[in-house]
Structure 1
Amino acid sequence: MKEQTEIGKIKEGRYIVIDEEPCKVVGLATSKPGKHGAAKARIDAVGIFDGVKRSIVSPVSAKTYVPVVERKSGQVISIAGDMAQLMDMKDYSNFEIAIPEDKKGTLEVGKEIMYIESMGKRKLD
């Protein structure tokens, strides 16, 4: 899910959709309006799920999409290799999620963990 907003209202640390990928804004620079043009904003962002750095340059008054990023909790049901099966603590739905390298030894069956969900994708927090 995503919402629309103006580029000028985006701040560092917030989220933005670039190339249909939710990204966290890490840098923001604006230029002054010139004689024949509007003020421009350059936004540097890093993808939440893939870690790829992306940037866009756009007029400050232009519209862009902002993803709805939710932090949720889930209980680990089972662990198989580099995949974990989680159960959401609100709606009790089951799904599989990839385990990142830094969390491989820390996950235990029955333990409650946090994960991020945005635009149909999930990632351990």
Structure 2
Amino acid sequence: MSRKSRRGEGDVASNTVPQKCSSLRKSGFALLNQNPCKIIEMNTSAPGKHGHAKIHLVGLNIFSEKKVDDICVSTHNMQVPIVKRQEYEVLGMDHDGYCTLMDINGHLRSDLKLTNICNVHSKVELDRLRDRAEEDQMAVIATVWTAMGDEAVKSIRIGKHI
């Protein structure tokens, strides 16, 4: 997560788009109980006496991976978070777990700390990846997800230089 959480900057509407609940799909995104989530399960009930089917959504918070569930009427709109993915080259990591990242334009940042949602959890693991990448003349690439004013390193892999 970022050293400075930007949650609360702006309103929910500027970070989301409305989408009809019935058009949401598994592996898509939705704002479930004010949490940006990736949908992992959807169950639709039959229309009740008031004529509306309800959809039970289960998702994983994209920043904490905690399970979140919500129910919506299939004909109503739900908010879908705008999720951006950006790749950076990983240049290193400090002793507190903050990564030094470089974007395609050469801009550096070191405000993102590795968390338990990333596939790499320590400096030792990152150093092993960097050694393998150097042998193959490749780079270590971090994928950063941004949504709702928060951001986190979601994965680190070996890839082509940015």
Does TM, normalized by the shorter one, top 0.5? yes
Residues 10, 91 of structure 1: alpha-carbon distance in 2 compared, 3 angstrom cutoff: farther
Greater shift, 28-37 or 58-67, is seen at 28-37
Relative to the length of structure 2, the TM-score reads 0.67
Match status 1:113 vs 2:142: yes
Structure 1 pair 47/89, CA: closer, same or farther in 2 (3 Å)? same
Amino acid at match of 2:99: A
- AA paired with 2:24? I
Moved over 6 A (4+): none
Identity %: 20
Distance 1:119 1:93 in 2: 22
> Residue 98 of structure 1: which of 97, 101, 113 is its match?
113
Q: Secondary structure at the match of 1:115?
A: strand
RMSD (Å) for aligned C-alpha atoms: 2.3
Counterparts of 2:106 and 2:26, CA distance in 1: 32
- Which has more helix, going by share of residues? 2
Q: How many corresponding residue pairs?
A: 125
Code of the residue aligned with 1:71 in structure 2: it is R
The alignment status of 1:74 with 2:88, answered yes or no, reads yes
TM-score normalized with structure 1 length = 0.84
1:65 CA drift (Å): 0.8
Higher strand share: 1
